[in-house]
Amino acid sequence: METSARIKISNDGSLQVPDCPVIPFIEGDGIGPDIWQATRMVINSAVKTAYNSGRKISWLETLAGEKAYQQTGNWLPDETLDTIRAHVVAIKGPLTTPVGKGIRSLNVTIRQVLDLYACVRPVKYIDPVPSPMKRPEKINMVVFRENTEDVYAGIEWQSKSEAAGRVISFLKDEMGISVPSDSGIGIKPISEKNTKRLVARAIAYALENNLESVTLMHKGNIMKFTEGAFNQWGYEVAEERFGDRTITEDELFGTYNGMRPEGKVIIKDRIADMLFQQVLLRPDEYHVIATPNLNGDYLSDALAAQVGGLGMAPGANISDKCAVFEATHGTAPKYAGQDKVNPCSLILSAAMMLDYMGWKEASLLTGRALQTTIQDGTVTYDLARQMTGATEVKCSEFAKRMVNKMEKL
């Protein structure tokens, strides 16, 4: 086999993945080490089973969170960000946000510094995971949430602060708008550039995966120049960059009699509150959803609950230059070091990473092994408490059973 090498990005944005890529990992805090060990075992086995000795991942530890603080005195060393940038693809466990120590969320910092503008969250039901839905098998969608702006931009001022007072005075004196003098103030920027790059990525994903539709989720009936503009720019970028491969819902019914032409993606839009009830009542009508930051935050977790909760939900934060795959839940500190929790979120995120690298066989194998292990009724505590007749196993044992399955698939 070749010696290890870095993944690179070509000028057209495609990845060049060597047979032995170096992939940085951040173990994470709390339950991070447990789920990371399990994930690493499963992914090494999937790659070996799929490609024999033809491919192998060379893992490279990079530090963040408590481990980084203990070893370097810094919660998020610059070297870690440089390492992720240089290696293009990375994976991370959950990180604690130290409360009350004046430290920003490490997760948010990583996303902002690396400009990871798309938070991608696939939501697919894995039978027989307990679900509150009557027909959970109808859920199969991918949420593309804008990750850098909206009310998450961090532009806000506390009630009665000097800065809030200045903004309130400006609104009154310069704009003729009156707001209560004791208001806290937040700003909601949504830009054309950031909206278009997010929606373009969502449409490209739908085209690559032959998915039926991309839905623009917004609250533009109320917030016309932010969420409404998101919707308008979404349609614009569909026309500008994918005009020959997309149609609107009006065209679907007006021109094509309701039958989607082969190879075309339908672009539609839905008001946010309405979409929340639609994904419960008619989930099979939604395939890719592109949304501003706040809507996306709510929707991703609500959808994760529909297919079994955050312990089962994979995710990634992606820019044009690098991608970080991560468990969507937190550090669950009360279970730290107990080898107890469900590693599926990080394992499924790693499977997403393999797919992103073009290692589809290993990705599919991971998904199949996970499903058959759960079908056998061997699950961690969180699922065992909801499934009758299931056998509860530890985090590491779940991973070992997945590896055994893989060898037989």
The nearer residue to ligand NAP, 220 or 314, going by C-beta atoms, is 314
Residue 65 · residue 95 · CB < 8 Å: yes
The nearer residue to ligand NAP, 55 or 121, going by C-beta atoms, is 121
Active-site residue, selected from the candidate residues 82, 182, 273, 320:
273
The nearer residue to ligand NAP, 103 or 223, going by C-beta atoms, is 103
Residue 308 · residue 130 · CB < 8 Å: yes
- 219 flagged as catalytic: yes
Residue 338: C-alpha distances to residues 392, 393, 395, 396, 403 (Å): 14, 12, 9, 10, 21
The nearer residue to ligand NAP, 49 or 319, going by C-beta atoms, is 319
Active-site residue, selected from the candidate residues 152, 286, 356, 381:
152
The nearer residue to ligand NAP, 95 or 318, going by C-beta atoms, is 95
Shortest distance (Å) from residue 326 CB to ligand NAP = 6
The nearer residue to ligand NAP, 291 or 345, going by C-beta atoms, is 345
Shortest distance (Å) from residue 226 CB to ligand NAP = 25
Shortest distance (Å) from residue 148 CB to ligand NAP = 16
**Spatial distance between the Cα atoms of 275 and 221, rounded to a whole number of angstroms:** 14
Dihedral over Cα of 261, 265, 269, 273: its sign = positive
Tell me which DSSP letter residue 22 carries.
E
Shortest distance (Å) from residue 311 CB to ligand NAP = 4
- In terms of Cα–Cα distance, which of 377, 317, 347 is closest to 127? 377
Shortest distance (Å) from residue 41 CB to ligand NAP = 16
Residue 91 · residue 23 · CB < 8 Å: yes
Residues binding ligand NAP (CB under 6 A):
31, 35, 94-97, 107, 310-311, 326, 329-332, 341-342, 345, 382
Using DSSP's 3-state secondary structure scheme, residue 185 falls into strand
Residues in the chain: 409
For residue 128, whether the previous peptide bond is cis, meaning omega lies within 30 degrees of 0, is: yes
Shortest distance (Å) from residue 63 CB to ligand NAP = 14
Shortest distance (Å) from residue 35 CB to ligand NAP = 6
- 152 flagged as catalytic: yes
- In terms of Cα–Cα distance, which of 261, 263, 286, 264 is closest to 276? 286
The nearer residue to ligand NAP, 94 or 122, going by C-beta atoms, is 94
- 394 flagged as catalytic: no
The nearer residue to ligand NAP, 24 or 94, going by C-beta atoms, is 94
Helices (H), 307-394: 344-356, 360-375, 381-384
**Spatial distance between the Cα atoms of 321 and 317, rounded to a whole number of angstroms:** 11
The amino acid at residue 71 is Q
**Spatial distance between the Cα atoms of 339 and 336, rounded to a whole number of angstroms:** 8
For the chain, first and last CA: distance in Å? 25
Active-site residue, selected from the candidate residues 150, 297, 339, 382:
297
Q: How many Cβ atoms from other residues are within 10 Å of residue 137's Cβ?
A: 14
Active-site residue, selected from the candidate residues 48, 219, 264, 405:
219
SS (H, E, C) 218-256: ECCCCCCCCHHHHHHHHHHHHHHHHCCCEEEHHHHHHCC
Contacts of 371 (CB under 8 A, 6+ apart): 126, 127
Rg for the chain (alpha carbons), in Å? 22
Residue 290 · residue 234 · CB < 8 Å: yes
Known catalytic residues are 152, 219, 273, 297
